[in-house]
Amino acid sequence: MQSYNSNAAKRMVMAFLDGLIFFVFLLGVILLLVSYNRAQQTQKNHQNMKPCTQETTATVTHLNTFTEKTKPDEIDSPTYNIYDARYTFTVDGQEYNGNYSSRKKIEMGDTLDIVYNPNDPSQSYLKVEIQKEASGDIKKMVFYYPGIVFVVFSVLAAIPLAIIQIMDRIKEDKRREAAYQQALERHKAEMEKKKANEIK
C-alpha cells in the first residue's frame, strides 16, 4: 500500500512538472512570435522611412481631436485625447502635406520637425516617429531574449524528465513481467500439485 501511494505521488509530481515545462515552453514560443511580429513591423517601417533623409519643419494646418476611453466597456473609465493633425511643408516652392496622430497635445499652427524623401517629398514622417522606430529595435528584444531563455530552459528540463519517465516505465514493465512470471510459476505449481493429488 505504501509503495502504491509513493508511486501515485511520484506520478502526480511528474505530471505537474510536465505541465510546468509545457507552460514555460508555450510562453517562450508566444514571446518569440510577438518579437517576430514586432521585428517584421519594424523592418517594414524602416524600409518605408529609409528614403526620408532630408530634414525640415512643417506647420499644423488642420486638426481634429477625438476623446477615447482607456477602458471602453466601463462607463466611468478615464478618458484621453487623440490629436489627428495634418501638417504642411514646402520644398522648392511646392507645398506638401502629411498626417500625424498623437496623444500629446497638438495645436493649430504648431511647428513640427519632419524628415521627407528628397526624391518624393509627399513621403514624410515626424522625426519623433523615426526615434520611436529606433527605440522599437530595443523594445522588441524585451520579448525576444526571455522567449529564447524560456524555450531553451523548457527543452533542457524536458530531456532529463523524459529520461526519468522512460527509466520508470522500464522498471514498471520489469516489475509487471516479474509479477507475471511469479503468477505463472504459482499457477504451474498448483497445477502440478493438483495433478499429483489426482494420481494418488
Q: 114 with 56: CB under 8 angstroms? A: yes
Residue by residue, DSSP assigns 52-104 as: --EEEEEEEEEEEEEEEESSTT-TT--EEEEEEEEEEEEETTEEEEEEEEESS
* CA distances (Å), origin 59, targets 88, 106, 145: 5, 11, 41
pTM: 0.49
pLDDT in tens, 134-183: 555 555 567 778 888 899 999 888 888 888 888 888 888 888 887 788 87
Instruction: Tell me whether residue 93 is exposed, middle or buried, using C-beta atoms within 10 angstroms of its C-beta: 0 to 12, 13 to 18, 19 or more.
Output: exposed
- The residue ranking higher by pLDDT, 198 or 128, is 128
16 residue type, one letter: F
Distance CA 89, CA 95 (A): 6
